[in-house]
Structures are given as structure tokens and as C-alpha cells.
Amino acid sequence: MPHTSAIPAGAELRVLHTFQLAPAELAEIRVLMDEAFEGDFSDEDFDHGLGGVHVLVNGSDGGLVAHGSVIMRRVSHGGRWYRVGYVEALGVTAPLQRRGLGGRVMAALEQVIERAYDFGALSASPEGAGLYRSRGWWPWPGRIEGIGPEGAVPFPDEEGSTYVWGTLPAREGTLGFDWRDGDVL
């Protein structure tokens, strides 16, 4: 099926902060994530996508067909801490996947990152990596770790699947992400 960047006819793209979302909208996002991730989206994963800016695409019937959010993370690199826009909960309803909706959501999220953060980061699944690479995101070539209560914890399994976007002072070294419950990245 050819890729297109068009939103389906009658669809609406909205950009909202978590505080602007009604409980019913949050519930609809949760249902979409369960569908898009085929049941492999935990309550902690959902929680990680809250507290930032959401991009929602509603179809002509008003139902949610795509979503992504960007939240703030603190990341240590090269001796300083950065304010990073971290992409979370990007998903498209199964019938509309691979038709450009993920790219439209990412374009809106990238605008937020560009204007509000030092750079962007995300953890890519093998299925999603092509979308991010096509948009200029690149896999971080160095070490990945979480900075937790006990200090730095290496995450070698995240190396190669952690992508960054934007301007960094150096494209090498270690990225140390702030700790959070569940999957740190």
C-alpha cells in the first residue's frame, strides 16, 4: 500500500496537553494503545505517556485513529543535564497503519520538541524504527543508562534502539536517562 501523508477525509488533528484531555479521551487513548501494540502496552507504559503534549487524530466518525505524546525527560550527557522531549505512546489503529498517520503525528511532535526541548529521544521497536529513520532520527551509537537511586544502571538492551533527533553537542558517549517506574526507557 503506498504511503501518504494525508489525514483521512474528515479527520481532525489536535494538539493538547494532558490536563486538557477528558477522562473519556484518556480511556480512548488507552484502548488505541492496546490495539496498536496488540496487548503489549502496560499501565506503566500508558502512565509514561502522560504529563506532556498529545497529538490526536480523530477520524470522520469522531473516533481516535492515531496518537502520540511527548513528555519531558532529564538526560545526562557530556557532563551536563538536558531537557529532552521524549516520544511516548505513538500508535495508529490497525486498519490505518502504514498510511502516513504516524508520520503526521511525528511531524506535530517534532514541532513541540524543536520549540520546547534541547533535543528529542525515543525507544524504537523494530517495526517503528523505519518511520523514525525516515524522519531524520538516528540510533544513539553510545551507551545508554538510567540514573537511579543507586546511581547509574547500564541498559545494553536499549543500545541500538534508542533514537535521538535534533542538535547534540557530540554524537558519542553515554546518555543517562532519569529514572522512572516500569521501563526506564
The alpha carbon of 43 is separated from its chain's Cα centroid by a whole number of angstroms, namely 16
How many CA atoms, within 13 angstroms, populate the side-chain half-sphere of residue 74? 8
Q: If the chain, 185 residues long, is cut into consecutive pieces of 10 residues, what is the mean pLDDT of each piece?
A: 50 94 97 93 95 95 95 96 97 90 96 98 93 96 94 93 92 94 80
Alpha-carbon dihedral sign for residues 51, 54, 60, 66: negative
What span, in angstroms and rounded, lies between the C-alpha atoms of 68 and 104? 10
Per domain, the residue ranges of the chain are 12-178
The count of residues in the chain is 185
pTM: 0.92
Which pLDDT does position 67 carry in this prediction? 98
Which of 82, 52, 83 is CA-nearest to residue 70? Answer: 52
Which pLDDT does position 185 carry in this prediction? 78
Give the CATH number of domain 12-178.
3.40.630.30
